[in-house]
Amino acid sequence: MPDIVFEITSPGAEDVDRGSKLELYTRLGAREYYIYDSQQVMVPPLRAYTRQGDALIPLALLPTGAVVSPLLGAELWPVGIYLRVIDPDTGLPFRTAEEEWRDRIAEERARIAAQGRADAEERARRAIEKRAELAEERAARAEAALTRRGRRLAHGAALRTGGMWLVGAASNVCWPHASLCLPALGGRQWQVRPPAMAAGLTDHSWTLEEMRR
């Protein structure tokens, strides 16, 4: 026989719980006996008995309707449908299985939500890094294209500069100018001269082949 017996009564059963069951638990040696009406019909809803000698006698309730269990060393509080056992160290009710289950569910939901936020942050970070990589690649391609264009422009400029130098040089040493012609001996022909020949820098008109050498 357990030392403590808890009986959850119902309307119409309290007489049995306070009568024949009380006598039974007394004979069986129970040291404490509690009857609780979770429907709050019985007044007061909690009744307590403690052993004194060979009998179970009523145990006085506190003004709050609670009772102190000598064996448990803790208060028992009627709270709604529950008879709550108060933790003497904290002054708070010991948690029920339902409350612990709700807490575990809430913790699991919080963990899942936190993991979801962490995953979303990780996806956002990776997306930002990917966009940065694509931007760097586009910038590198644009820079390479500009470099190639600059080289082409520089090559074209060099060609133009070389061409202009060639034309200028040929105009001075190869190509005669009409304004620099002199009458030839006998007066029937004209001596054609380029500017370099007229200036005394050369004695004949150069060919392009001579100029290249």
15 found inside a domain: yes
C-alpha pair distances (Å), 179 with each of 10, 51, 202, 205 = 138, 148, 18, 15
Q: What is the pLDDT of residue 186?
A: 59
Q: How far apart are CA 204 and CA 96, in angstroms?
A: 122
107 in the same domain as 132: yes
What domain range includes position 48?
4-94
13 in the same domain as 90: yes
42 in the same domain as 110: no
Q: What is the pLDDT of residue 184?
A: 63
Q: What is the pLDDT of residue 24?
A: 92
166 found inside a domain: no
For the chain, list residues with pLDDT below 50: none
